[in-house]
Homo-oligomer: A and B are copies of this chain.
Amino acid sequence: MTDDERHDEQHEGTAPGSGEARAPRGGISRRGLLGLLGTGVGAGVLGAGVGVGADRAVQAHATGASGASALYPFAGRHQSGIVTAAQDRLHFASFDMAGGTTRDDLVSLLRDWSAAAARLTQGLDVSEAGSVGGSPLAPPDDTGEALGLPAAGLTVTIGFGPTLFTDATGADRYGIASRRPAALVDLPHFSGDQLVEALTGGDLCVQACSDDPQVAVHAIRNLSRIAFGRASLRWSQLGFGRTSSTTRGQSTPRNLFGFKDGTANLKAEDTAAVEEGVWAAGSDGSAWMDGGSYLVARKIRMTIETWDHASLAEQQTVVGRDKRDGAPLSGGDEFTAPDFSAAATDGSGPAIARDSHVALAHPDQNGGATLLRRGYNFVDGNDQLGRLDAGLFFLCFQRDPRRQFVPIQTALSRNDRMNEYLKHVGSAIFAVPPGASEGGWVGETLLG
């Protein structure tokens, strides 16, 4: 298989209603199909074995198809869950390695996570014994709440935080300090940041996306359980209603400000732009990150009560787009390029304010820098004043945060009119290694 073929495989998925028969979770072990793991025959083959073919992959890719029957492979040149058509639900988790753990512990954890993720993404329990197939006298390997549920497009994407390389005391716990990529920067303090330590950072992350929240939660819960004694949850976040479309087949969803969000996002089909802006290359400086990417996560509370008291005109000025159809205020439709030189019809200045969100975030204003955004809306109940605790869990992937997220966010944090309605409370950055080889594990290029 060539790299290009593996790259294409990354986008595979069975389209809904394609009719491919699949053994249900918990049933497959009875049929003796397994024992694939730990034998060097991994997820790629497993994916092929259940009928994920290239033609179907193209179909899913072209339509942005998703749904209960979508299946994505775990192995491949790139990890799934980056350019994969954005699923509807998210459970994101940040982990810290336990004190006293060794490099062997880290390797065994990544091997175990990869083996489990390769199964989970195919709609299987975490192990062959799974939730009901082991000894009745032992705790089941799998917690069981996804038993009988399809994978629903589950992807599991694993990343490494700066503190995995060098901890807060400067210690090189796992012998990898010298291999920390230059692009894996410590994020600077941005103007207005109100970060909460408990929502920030982490040695490792796992992004689980699925069209079924129970499947995403099941993945994080079981990977947390597998980590027992080696790593533990630092923080986690559920999200819904994808706010960013990552393929052309997806309509642009709305964020909790009620605006379409992600119109100008990088799309998976823009292969040249994706190669340029999303995937790290070995020649960038860290050979082990070739085919990987860098993830920045920001938990952004929206002060929606304040926003809801703003006039429609103010809201549109802040965003720089029309609320109904998402067209830039310089005219056209949603997909018309903003014209930052156009004047307002009343002659009062530019049609799109210089300090609007669309102006400051636009590639034209950032030396061409783009991001692949993959954020989700969240509502975490309400605060004691009866205000919904709601906002955007912003996720973006990129080749080099030094040239992409950091300068863009620096400009936004200083001047964006939207800042009045936002509060950044959580922040993290992770190096997302390339995908596992078939039968291999995420991190093998660094630690293998």
Interface residues of A (CB under 8 A from B): 26, 89, 91, 131-132, 134-140, 142-149, 198, 212-214, 217, 220-221, 224-225, 232-238, 240-241, 251, 253-259, 304-305, 308-313, 315-316, 323-324, 377, 379-382, 384-388, 390
CB distance from A88 to the nearest CB of B (A): 8
Number of copies: 2
Nearest B residue to A93, CB-CB: B382
Q: Hey, which chain B residues are within 8 Å of A143, CB to CB?
A: 256, 258, 304, 308
Q: Hey, which chain B residues are within 8 Å of A240, CB to CB?
A: 89, 213-214, 217
Q: Hey, which chain B residues are within 8 Å of A324, CB to CB?
A: 26, 131-132, 147
Task: Report the 6 A-B pairs with minimum CB-CB distance, sorted nearest first.
Answer: A144-B258, A232-B386, A233-B386, A214-B241, A136-B313, A132-B324
A144 adjacent to B323 (CB under 8 Å):
yes
Known: A241-B212, A258-B147, A323-B132. A382 touches B140 (CB 8 A): no
A140 adjacent to B380 (CB under 8 Å):
no
Q: Hey, which chain B residues are within 8 Å of A257, CB to CB?
A: 144-145
Nearest B residue to A133, CB-CB: B324
A254 adjacent to B147 (CB under 8 Å):
yes
Rounded to whole angstroms, the CA-CA distance of A135 and B312 in the bound complex is 7
CB distance from A391 to the nearest CB of B (A): 12
Partner of A137, one of B214, B256, B304, B313: B313
B388 adjacent to A233 (CB under 8 Å):
yes
Rounded to whole angstroms, the CA-CA distance of A137 and B315 in the bound complex is 10
Interchain residue pairs with CB less than 8 A apart (8) = A132-B323, A140-B315, A144-B254, A146-B254, A213-B241, A214-B253, A220-B388, A233-B386
